[in-house]
Amino acid sequence: MQASGRAYKDAVYGQFARIGKALASPRRLELLDLLCQAPRTVDALAGEAGQSLANTSHHLQVLHGARLVESERKGVFVTYRLADDDVAVLYRSLRALAESRLAELEQVTRLFLDEREAMEPIGAVDLIERMRSGRVTLLDVRPEREYRSGHIPGAVSAPLGELEGRLEDFDRDGEIVAYCRGPYCVLAIEAVARLRARGFDAVRMEDGVPEWRARGFDVETAGAPL
pLDDT the model gives residue 223: 55
Q: What is the rounded CA–CA span in Å between residue 114 and residue 81? A: 35
Q: Which domains does the chain have, with CATH numbers?
A: 5-88 (1.10.10.10), 114-214 (3.40.250.10)
Is 98 or 135 the better-scoring residue by pLDDT?
98
134 contacts 215 by C-beta, under 8 angstroms:
no
What amino acid is encoded at 51 in this protein?
A: Q
Residue 118 has pLDDT above 60, yes or no: no
Angle, in degrees to the nearest 10, between helices 26-37 and 42-49: 120
When mean pLDDT is compared across 46-55, 110-119, 122-131, 193-202, the lowest value belongs to 110-119
How large is the average pLDDT for residues 37-56?
Answer: 96
What amino acid is encoded at 46 in this protein?
A: A
Strand ranges (E), 90-130: none
User: Catalytic residue numbers?
Assistant: 180
**105 membership: H or E segment, kind and range:** helix 103-114
How large is the average pLDDT for residues 37-58?
Answer: 96
Residue 226 has pLDDT above 50, yes or no: no
Going by C-beta distance under 8 Å and a sequence separation of 6 or more, which residues neighbour residue 113? 119, 120, 189
CB-based burial label for 28 (10 Å; 0-12, 13-18, 19+):
buried
Residue 224 has pLDDT above 70, yes or no: no
Please give the share of the chain, as a percent, with pLDDT higher than 90: 77
Confidence (pTM): 0.86
Going by C-beta distance under 8 Å and a sequence separation of 6 or more, which residues neighbour residue 207? 123, 124, 179, 182, 183, 215
Q: Is residue 222 very low, low, confident or very high in pLDDT (cuts 50, 70, 90)?
A: confident
Is 75 or 35 the better-scoring residue by pLDDT?
35
How large is the average pLDDT for residues 127-142?
Answer: 89
Residue 196 has pLDDT above 80, yes or no: yes
Q: What is the rounded CA–CA span in Å between residue 171 and residue 139? A: 12
**179 membership: H or E segment, kind and range:** strand 175-179
